[in-house]
C-alpha cells in the first residue's frame, strides 16, 4: 500500500469517526434522567416491521404495559402483558413476566425530530418509535 493510499484511508477513517461523533451529539443520545423524563407517564409506539404500531405504556409507578393485539401478535404469544421499567445508567430497561422469556432488555435512545426516537437494544437491534401522551 502506497504512502498516499495509507494517508487517504486514514483521513477517511478520521472523517467518518468525526461525522459519527457529530451526528451522535447533534441528535442527542439521552442521559438516564432525560430518558426517564421522556417516557415516564407516556406511551411509546414502536413501529412494527409489518406495519402498524406496538404501544408500550410507561406508568409512573414503574410498570409498563404492552399491547400487541392491534398488530396481530396474539397468535404468537400473550397479546398484552404488564412488566416493569427502570433505568440502568443511561439505558431504559424493561422486563416482562413471559415476553422474551422474562429476560431484561435495555435500550439506548436518541431523540429524533417530530416526537420520534431511535432505540438500540443491548443486543444491537434497532428501531424507531413515536412518543405519545
Detail the DSSP E strand segments found in the chain.
42-47, 53-58, 63-67, 80-88, 91-95, 105-112, 116-121, 126-131
Instruction: Give pLDDT tens digits for 66-93.
Output: 987 766 555 555 678 999 999 999 999 9
Residue 5: pLDDT above 60?
A: no
Instruction: Give pLDDT tens digits for 23-69.
Output: 444 457 899 999 999 999 999 999 887 778 889 999 999 999 998 77
Amino acid at each position: 500500500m502506497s504512502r498516499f493510499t495509507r494517508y487517504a484511508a486514514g483521513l477517511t477513517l478520521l472523517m467518518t469517526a468525526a461525522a459519527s461523533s457529530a451526528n451522535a451529539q447533534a441528535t442527542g443520545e439521552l442521559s438516564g434522567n432525560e430518558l426517564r423524563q421522556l417516557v415516564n407517564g407516556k406511551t411509546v409506539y414502536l413501529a412494527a416491521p409489518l406495519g402498524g404500531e406496538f404501544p408500550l405504556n410507561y406508568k409512573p409507578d414503574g410498570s409498563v404495559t404492552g399491547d400487541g393485539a392491534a398488530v396481530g401478535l396474539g397468535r404468537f404469544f400473550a397479546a398484552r402483558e404488564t412488566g416493569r421499567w427502570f433505568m440502568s445508567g443511561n439505558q431504559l430497561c424493561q422486563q416482562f413476566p413471559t415476553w422474551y422469556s422474562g429476560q431484561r432488555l435495555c435500550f439506548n435512545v436518541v431523540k429524533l425530530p417530530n416526537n420520534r426516537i431511535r432505540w438500540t437494544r443491548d443486543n444491537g437491534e434497532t428501531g424507531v418509535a413515536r412518543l405519545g401522551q
